Chain A
Amino acid sequence: MKPWSDAAEQEFARYCDRRRTALLASGADPDEVFADWRSHIVEEAVRNKADAVAEEDVRRLMARLEADPPAGSEARTFGSAALPPPDPAPRLLPIPAVVVFALFGVALPLITLLVESLTGLCASLLFDPMPTLAHGVLIALVPLANLLALVALRQRAWRPWRAMLWLNGLALGVTLYYTLHFSAFTPFAVIGVLYLGLGLLPLSPLISLICALLLRRSLGRAARATAAVSVPVWRPLLAAFLVLLLLALPTIIAMTGLNLAASEDAHTRARGLRLLRTVGSREELLRASYVQRPVTFDPIVWLGRQLAAEPLPLEKIREIYYRVTGQPFNAVRPPNLRGRGGALFNADEWDFAQSGDQVAARLRGLTLAQSRLDGRVEAEAGLAYLEWTLVFQNAAAVQREARAQILLPPGGVVSRLTLWINGEEREAAFSGRGQVRQAYQSVVQRRRDPVLVTTCGPDRILLQCFPVPPNGGTMKTRVGITVPLALLSSADGLLALPRLIEANFGLDPELKPAIWVESDREMVATGLRGERVAERQFTLRGDLTPAALDQGQCCTVRRPAQATRAWCRLERGEPGQQVLQTIRAVPTPPPARIVVVMDGSRRMAAHARETAALVRRLPAAAAVDLFIAADEVVRLGPSGADPRESLARQVENFNCAGGCDNGAALLAAWDEAAAQPGGVVLWLHDTQPLESKSTEALRQRWERRPNGPALYGYQFDSGPDRLTEKLEGVAAFHAVAALRGADLDWTTLLDAWAGRAPWLACERRLTPDTNGAPSDALAASLHLARLWAADEILRLAGTRNTDVRAKAMGLACTWQLVTPLSGAVVLENEEQYRQANLKPVDPDSTPDMVPEPGTLALLGLSGGLLLLAYALPRWFRHARHRCSVRG
């Protein structure tokens, strides 16, 4: 390479500078041409055998290079070339055009983006244009692309044309998508702008689209003219479409999976469930569970819908949600439906289940704001009375009905219902469940204040309150529950607290459920303070955790082991009778065959070890079989020297997935257990929010063979259990209460089977009033009579005889109890009660936290008798002594 002198370099640089503009305008790359000239000069120098390139050489050679053809043509100028450029050199974008583009192509979309991000104006009214951050980034691309295009068209020096054309194409795709998105509102926005001067923001996509199109034309011309670069518009448009498709993919997968999972063909159904379990978006499924076919303005989703099959019913979608996730749709916080439609189009704003008998979907803004639990335990009589006061709050703009399914303590019965109307307590009327529901629905239709409690399965009630006033209004109600203590041993009782198993409201984040229980014996509970106030006066109090309202909590009550008999006078109904309760050990021979049914749902994975441990603890003498209720019923086969251990290991290793109907597995288990006498079925499961298709077949088996295998059901986690609800009245069904963990909860039964401890049961019966306490029997409150009445109603309700059922109904009304035959309703005023042919109970006849009059009388009587028992012998002794002295 020949060296260049400094002067030569400077001369060449000056020359190049002079020629740059002309070269650029000709369509050539100036830098390339300069490099070619430079090479040309050096080549000449080499051929002339010059040692270096001097300034003179550059001038000479340049002069020759520039030696033009004869004058008189535009081709004289060096570098302008003899050939014209392919297009005329583009002019700079004029300033007025720049201002217009800057206003409508940059500022307007940017302002729209900011307004929507900060206020959510469109999201709250129509639909959410930015459901994800990625949508926001795509929208931000539009003003950015337009701004950069303007800069490129004004600055000659900076021209990354290819990138500019791509960016502009992407912006075109995004604006086109949003223009279609807003197309339904465009006419209204145009009218609004023309007549009111409002509505420019909804037109932002359309205006931005026009700006982007015009800018593309200018960019294309300039790129072709100056750099011969062109990018076909379909390429960036396709890229934008693919990105938007990617963002809509969760919705499309959910739609596809739902349609497959709803198929009538078993293989297709399984494929759909697999797809949804693997890549399905829970959020999308949840959203679909709330709004059957939400209004969509998303062109891609709309297109997907047109290709999909017919819309599925909400119930079907909710079923699939459970099958996929193993969780009821209403057990989780409701989705943000604004993502697919604003307030005007949100179906969740309408509570379609209002005044029905289903808890149904959760309602946004409705919460349990306050909770208070008061209780009084009669440890010696083995019973308690609890009052649960609930205050609901509604932040929504419309009235709401609060609905909840409450799991009562085992054997518990609702014996009081109160509603606060204008600050005053109103007591309920107790009557047939059909009558009270009709009265409730009638009042709800008139949008007045009722509250309704009916049973919905063994130890389950449905509470309905309406209306919880809008905009932060509250509604307060109280449910009184008479409860028998669960006897762990003759010296220990367990008081389980009621819990919410399904609700259409959430818990207020600041909720502190207060509890205050009093007893005549010592009580213990985790997290609560136990106090001894006076002789035979104990208190347990504190704040429960909000989770305890869902998951439950229990208190252990110490009781005198020798207190096995209690009594109370029957003050209502049949005169001259009294209720006598006897606690006694019931023989429980170990079963010959135990068939275990394990729920194969996803949430059971957390309880696989507990289940396996229970299998290992089953009586050694019993033959054990194990079914798993998965998508199909799976029977585990024992193997090796230790069949129980092999079953337990298989349970631990089983892959629990989705949500499963346990009905078919229970049928198989019943058939297996019924094959020989002495068989029992242990059903270990999680929530069962779906109506099982095997319910009637199950009921038939137990109804036709009442002495068939006993069914012990145990639900690990709190939640709705439609299968158990339908087993109400089946005498062979026993719910093992989940109170202290599976290990402890099963101990009582397993110990009884093994003969290590007795199985204690309370027997309550009616005896003739002897005008005094039966021997060895302790006086109890009227709650004992209520428990007797509840037992009696359940017994009578099982018959088909109308007179017997009428008698049971009468008993429920007399004792003011909510049973499978009766319900309780509080109406707003006397007129409503009269129209419904109902009569509210006398407030004096309701149970209370203070001992009832009957209890006081009994206590007085007992005290008098004790006094007499103490004083009479002394009096006789004194009398005898006086006689002997006189004598």
Chain B
Amino acid sequence: MRYKIARLMESTGYFENWMVQLRRGWLELCVLNALAAGERYGYDLVQTLAAMPGLNITEGTIYPLLSRLRMQGLVATRLEESPEGPARKYYTLTPPGRKALALMNDHVELLVRQTRRLRTEGGSR
């Protein structure tokens, strides 16, 4: 039965669409969380996020997102010369970025909690 449902979802693209919807905003949260511990080198950050299972994104989606976050003032960048390759761009959270991240994490926690409760209690009080 479960298999059938999975096949049904795959054939109609329902799950994919739902994933796209979910990914909206989630990636931004991941990027900000990845920078919460400290500054990250851009290439390294992209590799880490691209390799993250379940997120299902490529490097191509991350660079424009980083640019936008920078223009919105949530992250800051600095360049550092590298002896091996091109100058490395390091990303770090700005104070507004930290505030935004804290709000987003709280909200996600709330949503997850409420979703679990729905699953376990069926929404009944």
Q: In the complex, are the beta carbons of A75 and B86 less than 8 A apart?
A: no
Q: In the complex, are the beta carbons of B61 and A82 less than 8 A apart?
A: yes
A residues with a Cβ closer than 8 A to B are 1-2, 23, 26-29, 32-33, 36-40, 42-43, 46, 64-75, 78-86, 227-228
Q: Mark B34-74, 1 if CB is under 8 A from A, else 0.
A: 00000000110010000000001111110111111011110
**Chain A neighbourhood of B28, CB < 8 A:** 83
Q: Decide: A83 near B86, CB < 8 A? Known: A33-B64, A36-B63.
A: no
Q: Decide: A46 near B84, CB < 8 A? Known: A26-B68, A73-B16.
A: yes
Within 8 A of A (CB), among B13-42: 13, 16-17, 19-20, 23-25, 27-28, 42
Q: In the complex, are the beta carbons of B89 and A75 less than 8 A apart?
A: no
List the B residue with the shortest CB-CB distance to A84.
B24
Q: Decide: A69 near B85, CB < 8 A? Known: A79-B64, A81-B61, A83-B24.
A: no
List the B residue with the shortest CB-CB distance to A45.
B85
Q: Decide: A75 near B67, CB < 8 A? Known: A1-B85, A39-B42, A82-B27.
A: no
**Chain A neighbourhood of B89, CB < 8 A:** 36, 39
- Minimal beta-carbon separation of B85 from chain A (angstroms): 4
**Chain A neighbourhood of B73, CB < 8 A:** 228
- Residue B118 interfacial (CB < 8 Å): no
Q: How long is the Cα–Cα vector from A82 to B64 in the complex, in angstroms?
A: 10
Q: In the complex, are the beta carbons of A27 and B71 less than 8 A apart?
A: yes
Could you write out 23 A-B pairs with CB less than 8 Å apart?
A23-B64, A26-B68, A27-B68, A27-B72, A28-B64, A28-B67, A28-B71, A29-B71, A33-B67, A36-B42, A36-B63, A38-B86, A39-B88, A40-B42, A65-B58, A65-B60, A69-B56, A71-B13, A72-B17, A82-B24, A82-B27, A84-B24, A228-B73
**Chain B neighbourhood of A65, CB < 8 A:** 58-60
- Residue B8 interfacial (CB < 8 Å): no
Q: How long is the Cα–Cα vector from A707 to B43 in the complex, in angstroms?
A: 110
**Chain A neighbourhood of B72, CB < 8 A:** 27, 86, 228
**Chain A neighbourhood of B88, CB < 8 A:** 39
List the B residue with the shortest CB-CB distance to A41.
B86
Q: In the complex, are the beta carbons of B64 and A26 less than 8 A apart?
A: yes
Q: In the complex, are the beta carbons of B87 and A39 less than 8 A apart?
A: yes
Q: In the complex, are the beta carbons of B65 and A81 less than 8 A apart?
A: yes
Q: In the complex, are the beta carbons of B25 and A83 less than 8 A apart?
A: yes
Q: In the complex, are the beta carbons of A66 and B67 less than 8 A apart?
A: no
- Minimal beta-carbon separation of A44 from chain B (angstroms): 9
Q: Decide: A69 near B25, CB < 8 A? Known: A36-B66, A227-B71, A228-B72.
A: no
B residues with a Cβ closer than 8 A to A are 13, 16-17, 19-20, 23-25, 27-28, 42-43, 46, 56-61, 63-68, 70-73, 84-89
List the B residue with the shortest CB-CB distance to A74.
B20
**Chain B neighbourhood of A71, CB < 8 A:** 13, 16
List the B residue with the shortest CB-CB distance to A29.
B67
- Minimal beta-carbon separation of A80 from chain B (angstroms): 8
If A39-B85, A39-B88 are given as contacts, then 20 extra A-B residue pairs at C-beta distance below 8 Å, sorted by A number, are A1-B85, A23-B64, A27-B72, A28-B63, A28-B68, A28-B71, A36-B42, A39-B43, A39-B87, A40-B46, A40-B59, A66-B60, A67-B58, A69-B19, A69-B56, A71-B16, A73-B19, A83-B25, A83-B28, A83-B68
Q: Decide: A70 near B16, CB < 8 A? Known: A36-B89, A79-B64, A83-B28.
A: yes
**Chain A neighbourhood of B87, CB < 8 A:** 39
- Minimal beta-carbon separation of A34 from chain B (angstroms): 9
Q: In the complex, are the beta carbons of B85 and A46 less than 8 A apart?
A: yes
List the A residue with the shortest CB-CB distance to B71.
A228
- Minimal beta-carbon separation of A541 from chain B (angstroms): 87
Q: In the complex, are the beta carbons of B13 and A39 less than 8 A apart?
A: no
Q: How long is the Cα–Cα vector from A738 to B73 in the complex, in angstroms?
A: 79
**Chain A neighbourhood of B57, CB < 8 A:** 69, 82
Residue pairs across A and B with CB atoms within 8 Å: the count is 115
- Minimal beta-carbon separation of A23 from chain B (angstroms): 6
Q: In the complex, are the beta carbons of A39 and B65 less than 8 A apart?
A: no
**Chain B neighbourhood of A42, CB < 8 A:** 85-86
Chain B at the A interface: SS class = helix
Q: How long is the Cα–Cα vector from A28 to B65 in the complex, in angstroms?
A: 7
Q: In the complex, are the beta carbons of B70 and A39 less than 8 A apart?
A: no
Q: In the complex, are the beta carbons of B67 and A43 less than 8 A apart?
A: no
Q: How long is the Cα–Cα vector from A67 to B71 in the complex, in angstroms?
A: 26
List the A residue with the shortest CB-CB distance to B63.
A36
**Chain B neighbourhood of A86, CB < 8 A:** 68, 72
Q: Decide: A72 near B13, CB < 8 A? Known: A29-B71, A65-B59.
A: yes
**Chain B neighbourhood of A70, CB < 8 A:** 16, 56
Q: How long is the Cα–Cα vector from A85 to B73 in the complex, in angstroms?
A: 14
Q: How long is the Cα–Cα vector from A23 to B60 in the complex, in angstroms?
A: 11
List the A residue with the shortest CB-CB distance to B12.
A72
- Minimal beta-carbon separation of A599 from chain B (angstroms): 68
**Chain A neighbourhood of B13, CB < 8 A:** 71-72
- Minimal beta-carbon separation of B47 from chain A (angstroms): 9
Q: In the complex, are the beta carbons of B85 and A75 less than 8 A apart?
A: no
**Chain B neighbourhood of A37, CB < 8 A:** 63
- Minimal beta-carbon separation of A57 from chain B (angstroms): 14
- Minimal beta-carbon separation of A606 from chain B (angstroms): 65
- Minimal beta-carbon separation of B91 from chain A (angstroms): 11
Which of B58, B68, B88 gathers the greatest number of chain A CB atoms within 10 Å?
A: B68
- Minimal beta-carbon separation of B17 from chain A (angstroms): 6
Q: In the complex, are the beta carbons of B85 and A2 less than 8 A apart?
A: yes
Top 10 A-B residue pairs of the complex, sorted by shortest distance between their CB atoms: A73-B20, A28-B67, A28-B64, A72-B13, A65-B60, A46-B85, A36-B63, A228-B71, A78-B60, A39-B86
- Minimal beta-carbon separation of B13 from chain A (angstroms): 4
**Chain B neighbourhood of A84, CB < 8 A:** 24
**Chain B neighbourhood of A72, CB < 8 A:** 13, 16-17, 20
List the B residue with the shortest CB-CB distance to A227.
B71
Q: How long is the Cα–Cα vector from A79 to B89 in the complex, in angstroms?
A: 19
Q: How long is the Cα–Cα vector from A86 to B70 in the complex, in angstroms?
A: 13
List the A residue with the shortest CB-CB distance to B10.
A70
Which of B17, B63, B73 gathers the greatest number of chain A CB atoms within 10 Å?
A: B63
Q: How long is the Cα–Cα vector from A224 to B56 in the complex, in angstroms?
A: 29
- Minimal beta-carbon separation of B108 from chain A (angstroms): 15
List the A residue with the shortest CB-CB distance to B72.
A228
Q: How long is the Cα–Cα vector from A23 to B65 in the complex, in angstroms?
A: 10
**Chain B neighbourhood of A23, CB < 8 A:** 64, 67
List the B residue with the shortest CB-CB distance to A81.
B64
Q: How long is the Cα–Cα vector from A86 to B73 in the complex, in angstroms?
A: 13
Q: Decide: A81 near B20, CB < 8 A? Known: A40-B63, A72-B13.
A: no
List the B residue with the shortest CB-CB distance to A2.
B85
**Chain A neighbourhood of B61, CB < 8 A:** 75, 78, 81-82
- Minimal beta-carbon separation of A444 from chain B (angstroms): 77
- Minimal beta-carbon separation of B55 from chain A (angstroms): 9
List the B residue with the shortest CB-CB distance to A226.
B71
Q: How long is the Cα–Cα vector from A506 to B108 in the complex, in angstroms?
A: 85
Which of A28, A72, A81 gathers the greatest number of chain B CB atoms within 10 Å?
A: A81
List the B residue with the shortest CB-CB distance to A27.
B68
Which of A2, A64, A82 gathers the greatest number of chain B CB atoms within 10 Å?
A: A82
